[in-house]
Chain A
Amino acid sequence: MDAYGDLVAAEDVLLFVNAAITSTGQREFHGDADEQRLSLDFLHAYVLGNYRDLYAGVLALDINDHNAVLVIRRLLETAGEATAEQRRREGRLIACRLATLPPHRVYGLFDALRRAGVNNRRCRAIMRDWLSARPDPAFDAVKYRNGLKRALRHAHLAPADEELGAFLFAPATRKRYATPLLETWRRAHHEQAALYELPYTVAEGFAARHGIPREVFLERIAPRMTRLETLRLQDSAHRHGASRVRADLAGMPLTRLAAYVLSLPVEDRLRRRAELTRALESAAGRVAGPHRGSWGEVTAVLDDSFSASGSAHKRRRPLAVALACHYLLAALAGRYTGLWTSGRTDALLARPYGPTPLGRRILDALDTAPSRLVIVSDGWDNAPPGLAAEVLRIWRTRLDPGRRTGVVHVNPVYDAAGFDVRRLSPTVPAVGIRDAEDLPALVELAQFAEGRTGLAELTAYLDARAARMLSDHDRERAR
């Protein structure tokens, strides 16, 4: 391939990576779900058709679960087009990625394969390996009953033991089960007390069947909820008067925590300021880890314009990413300045409001003479439009040709019409971002987005990431 073709290929793959990180096929502020899905489908088909190796390699990057599932599914669907060598590499990458996906996503993927009629030997082997690695088959059988059932049936697999088989396929044939969880599930049909020992999602169905009042149910099921279930249901539980549902913010992932903070009314945020700030800072500290304080002088321009409110599907997602980045950068930097587009100074009270005067804010940021400028925005610069691009262009060409300041734009929103995240300026690399936790890796990736590095470097980078993921995975399994 000639040099020009290389550049095109690198660009294609990078825009696919951006799409795979940001888009979830859901509604965004500016575009609806259909546009997102159509655009994303095209990109998947295009990259798979042209750069199959790179397409599989993307699994090692921080792409979101929705896209990881789509990539795996397309790879398995088109297994016939791959060489034996490719298939072996893909198989390892897929197994590795499946291990990190949440189980409901994987069962969803297996079901999609079933519906698409994909049932080759490799596909069955992957399903077999993943299922055999599950820690507790009985738990899966109760919580993901239909998913597991269909997967077993589709892959022609025998259940882990004979009792599990009976539980899944002929539950009425047994008077009682030896496995405690399965027995609890049986008893929950008749006995209200038993359902409180089941996973929350399963117990909820039984509670409705027994007509248990919501507040009683929530109060007693609280210990069985997962961390995210507690976080999600906390407020509605308190409205119902169930006070035992209380999320522990200490171990919460950073972006999740930021989204939670933004969901609180302003009075609550003021009242719990110390607690929330501490939780955000410690979450950011955990992410920063050994890199804490190593980034030098960092200034961030954070977008809290109205478009950061996201959509009904992704409520305040862009703003949550910006808020999480604010705390993460504060932990990573030696000296940090965070500038919100609205001009607010209190990050904890952020709310999506007003226009996006990015150009002015970037000017203010450059005034602080940072060594690194990070822009977190959806790229809809509108007050006035195009000013950010002009400021960045003149900064690069006239005022800082020696690149003393590294500028990177991270964008949480996929622009379906442009098949990429919206760029501010051709002189500034733009990368997609899903969780603020990935920021350090994305800044690494951004060097490729400047359009000056070719395909060889990118391939090497993807291979390195894949090797890292595989070795981590192997170490995990060995333990």
Chain B
Amino acid sequence: MTPPDPTRPDPARLDLTGLEVRPSQVWGAVRLVPLVRDEPVEDLRLHARLYDDATIPVEVRPRHAYVSYVPHGFVATWTGDGTPAAAYGTQMPTDGDSAPLATTGLRFHRRTARREAKRRLRFLPLHLALEGYLALHFGGPSIAWEEWSQRAIRRGLSPRTEEAYLGTEVRGLADALRVFEIHPGQCGVLLYVADALAAAFAVPHPDDYRALHPTLLQDLFGELIHHYATLMPPVPDFRARVDDARIRSLAELRTAVADQEDAWARFHDTTMAGGLLDHAYTWRTVHRAGRFTLSRFLPVFRPKEENHIGEAITDEGGRIVYLKTFRLSESQVRRGHLLDRLAAHDWHLADTAAGLGVTEAQLGLRLESAGFGHLLRQDVLDGYRSR
């Protein structure tokens, strides 16, 4: 897969160099597009650690636990000298400071990404990115304009919960993953539901992919994807088509076949995955380890368009080694857009409204319908309603 200009990739974009597209496999409304690496990345290995209990409160700061579903915790192993890192298997974390509350039977994770042992990093994928999205304007209004409620000023946007569906609830996904035929050297997959890109997933090594392929079922998917999977009819295969008029020998047929394969890759990269690859993202580095950087990225929140958030591990050249994305639903995009605009105008309602081309009252009502009603003072909100 190549970005629009392969010689000088835009650092703010996703650069999937080294991952090649192979023909898609369709099951019902789900389309899986395999990504194959010519050379696996040997010095970064990922491993799934599945938790038996479905809901684990993640303690982000003391006494500030909030409930979020955490499907996996991955362990990243890397070696400094480039030799293959040993697989970890299913081991329990050897952390002494996670303060398990044995009495309630719950495990608390102090931070979502942190050093565990010297050469190990545990992080909770997607959860990271969701947190990033939610924490975008974590502090709430930066200037205490009088319209904002006391609660908004004191506690910011907390409680910060977002809804997502477990992969098992996405209709047809379980079967699609079961019957999918993994390509040799496959290191990733792009998952489409009703031909809307639902998630991109890439790992450094084919062995990791084989281990993690079934865990896609335990990932998070936005409500849009859930609805599409439930409501949409099966999507068609992109069947190969060869023009027979100009073929006079087997060699020519062979060339035509190769053209077909190229045509699919081109079509996919420019059209189907365009919503993911053509846009710039805001990146934030979370952790650095050896030559790898773990970061998360946010879109620019374009309403009524495809918006993906995600997390990625990149090597020193900025190439994607690990990638996981989550497609925001329409309402999530709207909320992100509103917060984005508010922040751009220092949380001043009148200015923001002017910037969006609406009246202040309309903006207030939009905030309310987006689920941010509690941020506004009650009497101000009532005033907007009566106007």
Contact = CB atoms under 8 A, between A and B. Distances in A.
Given A305-B181, A359-B257, A363-B253, A394 B25 contact: no
Contacts of B182: 306, 353-355
B260 A399 contact: no
A311 to B, nearest CB: 10
Contact of A394 (B26, B183, B237, B242): B242
Interface in A390-417: 390-391, 393-395, 397-399
A356 interface: yes
Contacts of B238: 384-385
7 smallest A-B Cβ distances: which pairs? Answer: A386-B239, A384-B23, A387-B240, A306-B181, A385-B237, A355-B181, A390-B242
Contacts of B179: 29-30, 307
Contacts of B261: 384
Interface SS, A side: helix
Nearest to B22: A383
Interface size class, chain B: 20 to 34
B249 A382 contact: no
Nearest to A395: B253
Contacts of A382: 23, 25, 181
Contacts of A389: 239
Contact of A354 (B24, B184, B257): B184
11 contacts: A353-B182, A360-B257, A363-B253, A382-B23, A382-B25, A384-B240, A384-B264, A386-B237, A390-B257, A398-B244, A399-B249
Nearest to A383: B23
Contacts of B183: 354-355, 383
Interface centre among A306, A342, A382, A393 (most CB of B within 10 A): A382
Interface string A280-299: 00000000000000000000
B181 A387 contact: no
A363 B254 contact: yes
B12 interface: no
B304 interface: no
Nearest to B253: A394
Nearest to A387: B240
A346 interface: no
Interface in B171-214: 179, 181-184
Interface SS, B side: loop
Interface in A10-45: 29-30
A443 interface: no
A9 interface: no
A367 B26 CA distance: 30
A337 to B, nearest CB: 15
A366 interface: yes
A391 B257 contact: yes
Contacts of B253: 363, 391, 394-395, 399
Given A29-B179, A306-B181, 18 more contacts: A307-B181, A342-B184, A354-B183, A355-B181, A356-B181, A382-B23, A383-B23, A383-B181, A384-B239, A384-B264, A385-B23, A385-B237, A390-B241, A391-B253, A393-B244, A397-B244, A398-B247, A399-B248
Interface in A313-356: 342, 353-356
A391 B252 CA distance: 11
A384 B25 CA distance: 9
A314 B184 CA distance: 25
B244 A394 contact: yes
Contact of A385 (B239, B242, B247, B249): B239
A386 B244 CA distance: 15
A359 B242 CA distance: 12
Contacts of A394: 242, 244, 247, 253
Nearest to A30: B179
B250 interface: yes
A398 B181 CA distance: 32
Contacts of A399: 247-250, 253
A251 to B, nearest CB: 36
A140 B320 CA distance: 68
Contacts of B242: 390-391, 394
A359 B247 contact: no
A354 B206 CA distance: 12
